[in-house]
């Protein structure tokens, strides 16, 4: 797919650069044509992720998420699409199917608005499958052919790794982010996510070269999950971030080898 890197896409890139430096780095490691697809999707992720946190009023947060659901519905149904720095470029790169998938992604993020814990393991799994998993599906399939289950496995692992890094902030904001926050519970969660990551990597051939740049966003997941398994106390300490040099070199190494 060839998409113009116009002012809207540049605005999306600037938003991602400010709010999500890891995904910005990953997108910048992709070919320019892929960046023009990835930046609008990553900008949507920024807008949706921050909607529950910019207000103390749940109803206002609900309305913000509904605005994005309405915009994605316009794309999915082929209606006239509202003019917006993020929505306009999304309308050029999303198929109706992917727009509908991303509507489900926005819907599941309603959980972020409230302080209720996850109901059970099935609820926890569903949250990550439909948030991080669906984001990975949309990002990759907007670029090229890729097996959905492979993408969901990889997206789940990336989502859990990012979640573990965010635990201290989530708890500081009054959330209950884990079903079992004990060291054993953290280790089991990291182990399960690593198994999903390995299952995805075992089917690398199911992700085309064109779709591969979308998976660069998960380049730190393996390291984070292994660290959490080996030293689960690092999660509560907020000590799962790579040093800047390691962070950059590991991304460059993965991209140079064509791996994810």
pLDDT per residue as tens, the chain (260 positions): 567 789 999 999 999 999 999 999 999 999 999 999 999 999 999 999 999 999 989 999 999 999 999 999 999 999 999 999 999 999 999 999 999 999 999 999 999 999 999 999 999 999 999 999 999 999 999 999 999 999 999 999 999 999 999 999 999 999 999 999 999 999 999 999 999 999 999 999 999 999 999 999 999 999 999 999 999 999 999 999 999 999 999 999 999 998 99
The number of C-alpha atoms within 13 Å of 164 and in the hemisphere containing its C-beta is 36
Q: Are 162 and 125 in contact (CB under 8 A)?
A: no
Helix, coil or strand: residue 167? helix
**Closest by Cα among 38, 2, 22 to 212:** 38
pLDDT at position 5 is 87
pLDDT at position 3 is 74
Residues 6+ apart with CB under 8 A from 100: 72, 76
pLDDT at position 51 is 94
Count each helix (H run) and each strand (E run) in the chain, helices first.
Answer: 13, 0
Helix, coil or strand: residue 138? helix
DSSP state of 207: B
Other beta carbons within 10 angstroms of residue 190's beta carbon come to: 23
Q: Are 12 and 43 in contact (CB under 8 A)?
A: yes
The tokens for 210 are 């064109």
Report the run of H or E that residue 97 belongs to, with start and end.
helix 96-108
Query: What is the rounded CA–CA span in Å between residue 107 and residue 121?
Result: 19
Domains of the chain: 1-114 (no CATH), 118-260 (1.10.600.10)
pLDDT at position 207 is 98
DSSP state of 33: H
The tokens for 131 are 């948030």
Strand partners, 207: 146
Query: What is the rounded CA–CA span in Å between residue 185 and residue 229?
Result: 10
**Closest by Cα among 46, 43, 23, 170 to 111:** 170
pLDDT at position 1 is 54
**Closest by Cα among 105, 127, 97, 85 to 45:** 105
């Amino acid at each position: 797919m060839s998409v113009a890197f116009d002012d809207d896409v540049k605005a999306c890139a600037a938003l991602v650069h400010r709010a999500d430096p890891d995904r910005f780095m990953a997108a910048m490691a992709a070919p320019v044509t892929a960046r023009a697809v990835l930046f609008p999707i990553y900008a949507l992720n920024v807008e949706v992720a921050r909607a529950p946190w910019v207000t103390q009023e749940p109803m206002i947060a609900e309305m913000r998420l509904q605005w994005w659901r309405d915009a994605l519905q316009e794309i999915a149904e082929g209606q006239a699409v509202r003019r917006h720095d993020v929505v306009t470029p999304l309308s050029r790169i999303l198929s109706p199917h992917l727009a509908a998938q991303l509507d489900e992604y926005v819907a599941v993020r309603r959980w972020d608005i409230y302080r209720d814990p996850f109901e059970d393991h099935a609820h926890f799994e569903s949250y990550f499958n439909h948030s991080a998993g669906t984001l990975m599906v949309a990002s990759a399939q907007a670029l090229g052919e890729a097996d959905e289950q492979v993408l969901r496995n990889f997206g789940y692992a990336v989502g859990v790794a990012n979640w573990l890094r965010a635990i201290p902030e989530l708890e500081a904001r009054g959330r209950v982010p884990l079903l079992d926050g004990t060291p054993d519970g953290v280790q089991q969660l990291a182990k399960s996510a690593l198994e999903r990551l390995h299952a995805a990597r075992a089917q690398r051939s199911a992700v085309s070269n064109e779709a591969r740049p979308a998976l660069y966003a998960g380049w730190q997941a393996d390291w984070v999950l292994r660290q959490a398994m080996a030293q689960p106390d690092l999660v509560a300490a907020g000590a799962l971030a790579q040093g800047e040099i390691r962070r950059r070199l590991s991304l460059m190494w993965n991209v140079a080898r064509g791996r994810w």
